[in-house]
Amino acid sequence: MVQVFPFKAIRPEASLAEKVAELPYDVVNSQEAAAFAQGNPYSYFHIDRSEIDLPGIDPYDPQVYQKAAENLASFQEEGWLIQETAPAYYLYELTMAGRSQTGLVACTSIDDYVAGKIKKHEFTRPEKEIDRINHILACDANTSPIFLSYRQPAAVKEAIDAWQAEHAPIYDFVSYHEVQHRVWLIDDPALVASFAQQFQAVDALYIADGHHRTESAVKVGLQKRADGQSSQESDRFLAILFPENELAIWEYNRVLRVPVPDTFFEQAAQHFTIRETTRKKPAQRGSIHLYLNHAWWELTIKPEAVPQDAVGQLDVSLLQQYVLADIFAIQDVRTDKRIDFVGGIRGPEELERLVDSGEWTLAFSMYPTQMADLLAVADAGEIMPPKSTWFEPKLLSGLFLHDLETN
C-alpha cells in the first residue's frame, strides 16, 4: 500500500488563479520566465524563477532563493495566495485537444519513496537537486508539485468522477497551448478520510515527471529529521496523482552538433533498414526518423538488433547504443554539449528549423515512449536513458504549495 494525505494548501485566490499559474520552472529558462511574467505582478515565476527580479544575477546565487521566500511572503500578505484552514484534497483536471486527465492533489510520504513504493525511472543531476533543495529550504514549502502516476482502483475513480459531477470547480481557465485547467476542492470529511483507506489497494506510485523535485523534497525531509527539526508536514511532499491510463507521453526528440562521417549510413545500416521518406514523425515503435541535409530518412531497427530487456528495447536506447555511442561517441547525453533535446510539443518543424539554421547538424524524430514501458522499467528497478519521456499537457505551478510548517 501507499500513503496519501490531505494538506492545508497554499493556493491562489479564486479570481487570480489564471494570472498566478505558470509553466513548471524547469521547462523555461530565465529569459523566457521574465518574458512570460512581464507586466504581471501575480506571475508565479516571481517565486519559482525569482532571478527574474534580480537582473543579471546567477540563477543559483543565494540571493535568488531569499528573493523567492520574500516574494512568497509578499504574495500571501497581499492575499494573492491564501492558505486553507483545514486539510483537504483537490482534483486537478487538464483538457488538451479534447482529451482529459484528472489527478488527485495530495501529499505523499518520504518513507514510501525511501522504501521504493514511489518508483523512479531516471537518474538525477546533483546541481539540479541542490537548486530545488535551496528553494524548498528558503520558502519552507514544496513550491512545485511532483507528477505521479498509478494504477487506479475502481473505487477511487468512482469517487473522483462523482465529486466532479456533483460540485463546481474552484478554478476554471485556459492557459498555455489552449489547455483547460479545472480544480475542485474536496473538503468532505468522510471522503477525505476514505482516500487513505482506498489507496491501500495501490501497490506503488510512479514518478512521471519531477525526479529532481522528488529527490530534493525527500532529502530536505530527511535532513530535517536528522537535525531534529522535522514536522508531520516535512515528512511529506506535494504530488499530483494521475491514473496511468489517462496520460499521454509525447516524443522527446534529439538534435546533434557533430561532423557526420561519410560512412554514416553504412554504419547505421548494420542495425537499421534505411530509406528516404516524406514523413517527419515515426508511425510506430522501432522506427526513428532522421533529418539531415534538408531530407528525412526512416531508420527501422532490425529485429535481431533489439535487446530483450525492458530498457534496451526502448527506441531511445536503440538510438543511444547504435547511433549516438557507436557512431558519434556520445556516451553521456546528460553532460555532452553536442546533443540537445526538443519536446514533442514543438513539432518536427522545429527540428527542421534548428538544422536548417546551421545551429545543429542533424535531428532525430522519435516515436513516443509508452506508459507501459515506463511502468515496466520502474517495476524492474531499472533506469531509462535521460529525456525518454515528455508529458503533455504540463501541470501548472502556483496552483498548490505545501507548507512544511517548520518555521
What's the DSSP call for residue 293?
T
Give the model's pLDDT for residue 407: 46
pLDDT digits (tens, 9 = 90+) for 1-22: 899 999 999 999 999 999 999 9
Helix/strand/coil for 103: strand
Report the 10 Å Cβ neighbour count for 352: 16
Query: How much is the average pLDDT of 153-169?
Result: 96
Least confident of 177-181, 303-307, 333-337: 333-337
pLDDT digits (tens, 9 = 90+) for 112-135: 999 999 999 988 888 899 999 999
Burial of 176 (0-12, 13-18, 19+ CB in 10 A): middle
Query: Looking at the predicted structure, is the pLDDT value of residue 340 above 90?
Result: yes
Give the model's pLDDT for residue 118: 97
Query: Looking at the predicted structure, is the pLDDT value of residue 102 above 50?
Result: yes
The reported pTM is 0.91
pLDDT digits (tens, 9 = 90+) for 52-84: 999 999 999 999 999 999 999 999 999 999 999
Residues 6+ apart with CB under 8 A from 166: none
What's the DSSP call for residue 251?
P
Give the model's pLDDT for residue 357: 97
| Mean predicted lDDT score pLDDT of the chain | 95
Query: What is the C-alpha to C-alpha distance for residues 317 and 311, in angstroms, rounded to an integer?
Result: 7
Give the model's pLDDT for residue 246: 96
Q: Which helix (H) or strand (E) holds 195?
A: helix 189-198
Share of the chain above pLDDT 90, in %: 93
Look at 359 and 387; give whichever has higher pLDDT: 359
The β-bridge partners of 171 are: 183
